[in-house]
């Protein structure tokens, strides 16, 4: 099978199920942004070495990549999802909530905003967080015009929180100073 089909040369592509739409269709913007988030999530995972200390985060990020691929396949579907698509239900957000709660229980409380930085992996967490927030806005816009699985919206919202807390957790794990925003009046 060839990678290129030439079917998209005139600016259209197929959704799951075969419906052809313009490449600037809101569904493509949504699942394309999920694809971008997946790439940065993989990059973050690749920046965590495979030590026992970091392996749980690498495992979580691999699960997140699976969840995002599932979400993208649903976002690329107009109408009812075909039976061959993997399910996407509330347990995906619950997975994130459990991971967030576990990490947060080990972190010091803060009352200021966190600035990105301190370590490349921490910065990547914040890049993932901001792409995730953009994804959330795009998916919300899509849901105003088309049917979107409510659990995908919930998951994307929770995922940005996960990246934020993971960044804080990695700051502790890498023993770097967490940068808090302190402003002068």
CA distances from 173 to 76, 91, 129 (A): 37, 28, 19
pLDDT surpassing 70 at residue 11: yes
Tokens of residue 162, six digits: 């996960």
Which CATH number does 23-80+88-173 carry?
1.20.1200.10
First to last CA, the chain: 62
pLDDT surpassing 90 at residue 132: yes
- Mean pLDDT value of segment 117-128: 97
- Please, are residues 144 and 83 in contact by the beta-carbon 8 Å criterion? no
Average pLDDT value over all residues in the chain: 91
Indicate the domain borders of the chain: 23-80+88-173
- Please, are residues 41 and 68 in contact by the beta-carbon 8 Å criterion? yes
According to the model, what pLDDT value does residue 15 have? 64
Residue 88 burial by Cβ neighbours in a 10 Å radius (0-12, 13-18, 19+): buried
| Confidence (pTM) | 0.92
CA distances from 125 to 30, 44, 67 (A): 20, 7, 17
HSE toward the beta carbon, residue 83, CA cutoff 13 A: 0
């Amino acid at each position: 099978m060839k990678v290129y089909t030439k079917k998209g040369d005139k600016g259209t592509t197929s959704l799951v199920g075969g419906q052809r739409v313009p490449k600037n269709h809101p569904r493509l913007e949504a699942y394309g942004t999920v694809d971008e988030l997946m790439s940065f999530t993989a990059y973050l995972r690749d920046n965590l070495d495979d030590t026992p200390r970091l392996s749980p985060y690498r495992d979580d990020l691999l699960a997140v990549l699976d969840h995002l691929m599932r979400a993208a396949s649903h976002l690329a579907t107009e109408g009812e999802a075909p039976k061959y698509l993997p399910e996407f239900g509330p347990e995906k957000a619950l997975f994130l909530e459990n991971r967030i709660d576990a990490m947060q229980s080990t972190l010091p409380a803060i009352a200021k905003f966190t600035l990105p930085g301190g370590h490349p992996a921490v910065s990547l967490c914040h890049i993932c967080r901001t792409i995730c927030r953009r994804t959330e806005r795009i998916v919300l816009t899509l849901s105003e015009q088309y049917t979107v699985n409510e659990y995908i919206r919930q998951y994307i919202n929770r995922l940005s929180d996960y990246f934020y807390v993971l960044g804080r957790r990695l700051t502790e794990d890498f023993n770097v100073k967490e940068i808090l925003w302190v402003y002068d009046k």
